[in-house]
Amino acid sequence: MSQALYRKYRSKSLSDVVGQVHITDILNRALKAGKIAHAYLFTGPRGVGKTSIARILAHEINQLPYDDDSQHLDIIEIDAASNNGVDDVRDLREKVQVAPVSAAKKVYIIDEVHMLSKPAFNALLKTLEEPPAHVVFILATTDVEKLPATIISRTQRFAFRAITPADAIQHLRYIATEEGVAISDEALALIAERGDGSFRDSISLLDQLSSLAQKDQEITAELIENTLGLASTSAVEAILAAVEKHDVKQLAQHLARMEGEGVSPAVLTAQIITVLAKQAAEKPQVLPLLDTLLEVPRSTQPSMKLLSVLGTAALQQKPKSAALATPVLEVSATIKELSIQATKKKPHLDKKPVVERPVTAKETPIKTEKALGDQAATPAPAPILTPDKIHDGPFDWNIALEYTREHYIALYSVLSKCGHELVDTTITVYTVNAFYKKKLDDPKYVTHLYEAVQAAGGQGLTIDTIPTRAPMKDSKAAAIADIMGGGVEVSPETV
């Protein structure tokens, strides 16, 4: 039976360890000086060498040769995940009193020590504080935050770092050469990226992929993408390009194609985050998008959440020219299709269907002589609109408000408090404050807002939101408002 590569190429001495020089140098100097601590604590991500260095250190302390098959009665490894009870620790306390069989020190390596129960930690504390002279403890954990401060303070702590991509690629190249595996530099970089700072994960992935390539066939980045269900580099670039071009329709099509190809939304999100993180220094404007993308894996419907997050980013900082703008309603068919797919997976019961209600006789304005002669008579209500009934005259803000009142009452409650201004092809919505702006910029409101604008005759218009009140049209009133620290312009007709 062949041996796994991560075991075959595990470090055999401190000098062999890659990427943890800040730790191995200190330990080497301490060993040469004969300064052996009674307890060490190794913390850091998974797969970076904590257990390997613990085993090497245990053998170096006792001046014993080490390899993977080395077994010694005085070097005891304990998995705290399966031996985490207080009785296990009490048994340990009794055994540490026994002198080593043949070595200078009895070394206990406790892996995943954070898994010990609170009573077990309390039982270990006294022994860890004042162990017998012949005992050394080496504790290892990936979650140091779960360790009591009393335990940490009684150890020498060494913080391991995630492996850098450069170190990972160099080590993977060495292993590939030794194993006779033909692989491109781009493929090695992709493996290192997927390893996420873990040597063990990266080497295991190389081991898995080495069996896929045929003899004399090079492992390429494309082969890795297909095998692991990743989106291609060009696909990720196309998605981000659609966001930058504010092309929501194209964006929705790209995401639908990725889902059709079996690319997991969580995996695609991770790939997009990786690209944006590299661009953040030169393009700081991507930081809000980067932050929001972190919420996608936690969503119950990650595919819809990803569409919502990227679509909202595409709608922000929209171009002023109507020729460059992409109306949101153009992608309604694609969004509807994705919504149907998501509903099949997890139905939503909180949204009621919109039913067109006919205008009753009571709502039909009756033009009596009194009404015609009365200047203060209440104007006829705006017609009740549905998505298939579009106002064919010039854009009318009141019709947009009425549309939201009939179909999206939560949106209406915010929009009715806002002012607006139409200049060329852009509607500026003055939201009064940042809270209302955040509401209107929310993904679940944006599409409805554009829908209402189109229903009111605003086809092709774009929307900007500003968290202030609408500027006063009367210059004298504006000057007085500046002096008084603010104010609201009131029309005489409304008094």
What pLDDT, on a 0 to 100 scale, did the predictor assign at position 53?
92
CATH, domain range 5-159: 3.40.50.300
SS3 per-residue string spanning 99-153? CCCCCCCEEEEEECHHHCCHHHHHHHHHHHHCCCCCEEEEEEECCHHHCCHHHHC
Quick one: DSSP state of residue 285?
A: G
Output the CA torsion 121→122→126→131 (10° steps). -20
* SS3 assignment, position 158: strand
- Domain locations along the chain: 5-159, 165-228, 233-345, 383-484
Specify the DSSP element, H or E, that contains 250. helix 248-260
CATH, domain range 165-228: 1.10.8.60
What pLDDT, on a 0 to 100 scale, did the predictor assign at position 479?
52
> What's the distance, Cα to Cα, between the start and end of the chain in Å?
90
pTM for the full predicted model: 0.57
Is 3.40.50.10580 the CATH number for 383-484? no
Residue with token string 């985490």: 84
171's tokens: 């080590």
What lies within 8 Å, CB to CB, of 259 at 6+ separation is 265, 303, 338, 341
What pLDDT, on a 0 to 100 scale, did the predictor assign at position 474?
60
What pLDDT, on a 0 to 100 scale, did the predictor assign at position 229?
83
Q: Are the beta carbons of 210 and 227 closer than 8 angstroms? A: no
CA 317 from centre of chain: 22
Q: How many CB atoms lie within 10 A of CB 328?
A: 23
What pLDDT, on a 0 to 100 scale, did the predictor assign at position 225?
84
pLDDT in tens, the chain (495 residues): 567 888 888 888 888 888 888 999 999 999 999 899 999 999 998 888 898 899 999 999 998 988 766 678 889 888 887 777 788 888 888 888 888 888 889 999 999 899 888 888 888 888 888 888 899 999 999 999 999 999 999 999 999 988 888 888 999 999 988 888 888 888 898 888 888 788 888 888 888 888 776 667 788 888 888 888 888 888 999 999 999 888 888 898 999 988 888 888 888 998 899 889 888 888 888 888 888 898 888 888 888 889 888 988 888 755 444 333 444 444 444 444 554 554 444 444 344 444 444 444 344 444 433 433 443 343 344 344 444 567 767 888 899 898 888 888 888 888 898 988 888 888 889 988 888 888 888 887 888 888 888 888 888 788 888 888 887 666 555 555 455 444 555 544 444
Residue in 313, 253, 247, 319 with CA at minimum distance from that of residue 283? 313
CA distance linking residue 277 with residue 261, whole number of Å: 25
Residue with token string 């005891």: 76
- Tell whether the torsion through CA atoms of 308, 313, 319 and 324 is positive or negative: negative
What pLDDT, on a 0 to 100 scale, did the predictor assign at position 355?
43
